[in-house]
Amino acid sequence: MSGERPPEREHGLHLLLQMLRVRRFEERCVELYSAAKIRGFMHLCIGEEAVAVGVMEALQPEDAVVATYREHGHALVRGVSAAAVMAEMYGKLEGCSRGRGGSMHLFDAATRFCGGNAIVGGGLPLAVGLALADKLQGHKRVTACFFGDGAVAEGEFHESMNLAALWRLPVLFCCENNLYAMGTRIERYESETNLALKAASYEIPAWSVDGMDVLAVEDAARKAAAEVRAGGAPCFLELRTYRFRAHSMYDPDLYRPKEEIERWKQHDPISALTAQLREGGVLRDGDIEELERSVAEEIDAAIGFAEAGTLEPVEDLERFVYSEGPAA
Amino acid sequence: MSASATVTVSYREAIREAIRESMLADQRVFLMGEDVGAYGGCFGVSKGLLEEFGPERIRDAPLSESAFVGAGIGAAMGGMRPIVEVMTINFCLLALDQIIDNAATITHMSGGQFQIPLVIRMTTGAGRQVAAQHSHSLEGWLAHIPGLKLLAPATLADARGMLAPALADPNPVLIFEHGSLYNVEGELPADAGAVDIERAAIRRAGGDVTIVAYGGTLTTALAAADELAAGGIEAEVIDLRVLRPLDDAAVIESVTRTHRAVIVDEGWRSGSLAAEVSARIMEQAFYELDSPVARVCSAEVPMPYPRHLEQAALPQASTVVAEVQRMAGASG
């Protein structure tokens, strides 16, 4: 699958805007982390933006998303407001998880964003179950399940592939292959590095896609999501991508050569799409500036919202350990 | 039907009837687990349900505890009311990540946005000579986890009546069925139904000592109480029923009257539920005690296969009796 056709102006600008929102949001997060406004673990997807942006194009509002601890981009693109995500990073009551989750545990019931999951592979069985619920209730929905290449080594990956295929459950498995399980390169932890082959061995239709090309990702995701929705059975996408930053804020990034990082930066998905739009003649003077201005405005407002947010009273510490509502 | 009509049922049949009733009452309820369908359940609990409800609602799962327990959590988030059967507590170790990191945390981590109305049933306990890997009593471990509710039906009425309120609860509820109880038979009212899942219960009234038990050890505690009664000591037997959140009040109220307590727990003593109950008595009723709280737990050894060693490892009524007599003697 490829994304070689030039996009329409409006759609191209929309994709560019979404990727810029994620990139600039995370760049500001780094500053805020340095300023100790954000604490804990924080994992950035800078470099990988095309994956979340491309896949989300294929989803409908009634679909569900299960993500990992590297999920700021997925949440923003899915429609969780930048303000609610930033307030969550600040640990504020106004955050999308009332501040109780932080960077790794963004939740939003309204957009069926079923969490950033911080145990590698832990989200896959959940996605299988969400899809099972849809199937049993006769909903024609897709559950998009994001996970990294590292998860492929977990038992939960194999158990979930088998179960989803066996029961023909509508899951779109999206494997973000950035070549590293934290600091261990894929050749050093996988006997078979063709990840699509693993899914195919469970009789799941599987494709490998250039995850640095947002149009290719969108194209592949639309076809796969349509197949999942129509057939009610899973599909698998291996999205070949790369993170430009370290694994987390604690990672000195000493396990990969600088030249490798520089080489991948030549495939920056934002620069690539910008160039494509320019070559296609659909990008006008001032477009980029306009996008950047609107993104900066959104993020400034999100930071303002988070700064002005309130801290949950300590008396409420033990709330939500058990559900307060009546059973839905 | 008159209110006094009763039927003879086994513990196994009582659970099966509870599952049937829940499935008839609510289309969202389904049963999922290893061998629950064609085999009829490893312990025969779900026998006949596949024929009655079909394979969509009685789902045989692969030997993938993590995936099908996690799928139960996801299905609960997605609007269903799953009953997940983990064949035995021993195999729940393969699904602990899902139970502890997802079922127990998602409501809290999401600021209350998502509910996990899930029931996980599992057989627990030793006593059948199946050796170390198949004889665990890890309820105490799971009772450590905030976000979970734990039930231990020790009677036919609880086997019949705990499932419906567990399914109605918006939180993950774990139900532990002691393997020694499935064949126990007795009378139940023909219209037996839901019971409360908040309170401990006094199974035998007495004023001289409180014996706290749950699940499989209730039988042991009652046998000990009978023996003590023959010697003139009236024991009050409390069945915890709910292992999390613990009903402290029932235990404290009893101890306040009897001034002595023995806890009988099939778990290992170190870090056990018995340790927790003991600590709570100490915290809340220390000055009511005429004697230190005693515990009768399993010996700290992987469960051995031969019958004489297994029985030596497990809490016995005779040990409970001896503890109470020692206590009574010591405190005059």
**Dist CA A50 CA A48 (whole Å):** 6
> For chain B, which residues score pLDDT lower than 70?
1-3, 331-332
* Direct distance between the N- and C-terminal alpha carbons of chain B, in angstroms, rounded to an integer: 53
Phi, psi of A260 (to 5 degrees): -65, -45
pLDDT at A1: 40
Residue with tokens 């620069």: A271
The DSSP output letter for B97 is I
Alpha carbon separation from B30 to A160, B19, B164 (Å, rounded): 19, 9, 13
B110/A107 CB distance under 8 A: yes
* Direct distance between the N- and C-terminal alpha carbons of chain A, in angstroms, rounded to an integer: 42
A·B CB contacts under 8 A = 162
For B57, the 3-state DSSP assignment is coil
* Residue B62, min C-alpha distance to chain A (Å): 7
pLDDT at B329: 83
Question: Quick check: A294 and A287 in contact, CB under 8 A?
Answer: no
Q: Which residues of A touch B61 (CB under 8 A)?
A: 163
Q: Which residues of A touch B64 (CB under 8 A)?
A: 159, 162-163
* Residue A100, min C-alpha distance to chain B (Å): 5
**Dist CA B103 CA B110 (whole Å):** 12
Nearest residue of A to residue B77, measured between CA atoms: A130
Q: Write out the two tokens for A127.
A: 């996605």
Segment A38-56, tens digit of pLDDT: 999 999 999 999 999 999 9
CB contact set of B213 (below 8 Å; sequence gap of 6+) = B154, B220, B221, B237, B238, B239, B240, B263, B264, B265
Helix A155-166 to helix B65-77 angle, to the nearest 10 degrees? 60
* Residue B129, min C-alpha distance to chain A (Å): 30
**Dist CA A118 CA A92 (whole Å):** 20
pLDDT at A326: 85
**Dist CA B146 CA B93 (whole Å):** 18
Nearest residue of B to residue A317, measured between CA atoms: B108
Nearest residue of A to residue B147, measured between CA atoms: A321
- Cα dihedral across residues B245, B251, B253, B256: positive or negative: negative
Q: Which helix (H) or strand (E) holds A93?
A: none
B74/A166 CB distance under 8 A: no
CB-count exposure of residue A153 (10 Å: 0-12, 13-18, 19+): middle
CB-count exposure of residue B279 (10 Å: 0-12, 13-18, 19+): exposed
Nearest residue of A to residue B64, measured between CA atoms: A159
Segment A13-28, tens digit of pLDDT: 999 999 999 999 999 9
pLDDT at B168: 97
For B270, the 3-state DSSP assignment is coil
For B133, the 3-state DSSP assignment is helix
A101/B111 CB distance under 8 A: yes
Angle at the Cα of A119 from the Cα atoms of B98 and A229, rounded to 5 degrees = 75
pLDDT at A295: 98
Alpha carbon separation from A15 to A203, A220, A272, B190, B295 (Å, rounded): 32, 15, 12, 64, 65
Segment A158-189, tens digit of pLDDT: 999 999 999 999 999 999 999 999 999 999 99
B75/A136 CB distance under 8 A: yes
Single out the residue of B6, B83, B87 nearest to residue B44, CA to CA: B87
Q: Which residues of B touch A107 (CB under 8 A)?
A: 106, 109-111, 113-114
A132/B114 CB distance under 8 A: no
pLDDT at B235: 98
Question: Quick check: A238 and A175 in contact, CB under 8 A?
Answer: yes
CB-count exposure of residue A155 (10 Å: 0-12, 13-18, 19+): middle
Residue with tokens 């959140």: B245
CB contact set of B46 (below 8 Å; sequence gap of 6+) = B16, B19, B31, B36, B37, B40, B58, B85
pLDDT at B164: 98
Single out the residue of A45, A33, A105 nearest to residue A73, CA to CA: A45
Segment A201-218, tens digit of pLDDT: 999 999 999 999 999 999
For every residue of B178-208, DSSP letters joined together read ETTSTT-EEEEETT-----SS--EEEE--SS
Domains and CATH numbers, chain A: 9-253+285-308 (3.40.50.970)
Q: Which of B70, B78, B147 sits opposite A133 (nearest CB)?
A: B78
Question: Quick check: B173 and B147 in contact, CB under 8 A?
Answer: no
Phi, psi of B210 (to 5 degrees): -105, 125
- Cα dihedral across residues B16, B22, B25, B30: positive or negative: negative
Phi, psi of B54 (to 5 degrees): 85, 165
A122/B98 CB distance under 8 A: yes
CB of B150 within 8 Å of a chain A CB? The answer is no
Which residue, among A117, A321, A324, would best test binding to B if mutated, counting the most B CBs under 10 Å from its CB? Answer: A321
Question: Quick check: B267 and B273 in contact, CB under 8 A?
Answer: yes
CA A257 centroid distance within chain: 25
* Residue A71, min C-alpha distance to chain B (Å): 14
Question: Quick check: A66 and A74 in contact, CB under 8 A?
Answer: no
Domains and CATH numbers, chain B: 6-189 (3.40.50.970), 201-331 (3.40.50.920)
Specify whether B323 is catalytic. no
Single out the residue of B306, B240, B237 nearest to residue B272, CA to CA: B240
This prediction has a pTM of 0.96
**Dist CA B254 CA B212 (whole Å):** 10
Q: Is the peptide bond before B245 cis (omega within 30 degrees of 0)?
A: yes
Q: Which of A109, A132, A327 sits opposite B75 (nearest CB)?
A: A132
For every residue of A167-194, DSSP letters joined together read TT--EEEEEEE-SEETTEEGGGT-S---
* Residue A283, min C-alpha distance to chain B (Å): 40
Count of CA atoms in the C-beta half-sphere (13 A) of A208: 12
Specify whether B65 is catalytic. yes
* Residue A109, min C-alpha distance to chain B (Å): 6
Single out the catalytic residue among B134, B136, B178, B259: B134
Instruction: Enumerate the β-bridge partners of residue A224.
Output: none
Give chain A's largest Cα–Cα span: 59
**Dist CA A85 CA A67 (whole Å):** 14
Q: Which of A97, A136, A322 sits opposite B56 (nearest CB)?
A: A136
Single out the residue of B73, B71, B115 nearest to residue A129, CA to CA: B71
Q: Helix, strand, coil shares of chain A as percentages rounded to 5?
A: 45, 10, 40
B112/A99 CB distance under 8 A: no
Q: Write out the two tokens for B314.
A: 């497990």
**Dist CA B284 CA B256 (whole Å):** 10
Angle at the Cα of A51 from the Cα atoms of A50 and A52, rounded to 5 degrees = 100
> For chain A, which residues score pLDDT lower than 50?
1-3
B66/A155 CB distance under 8 A: yes
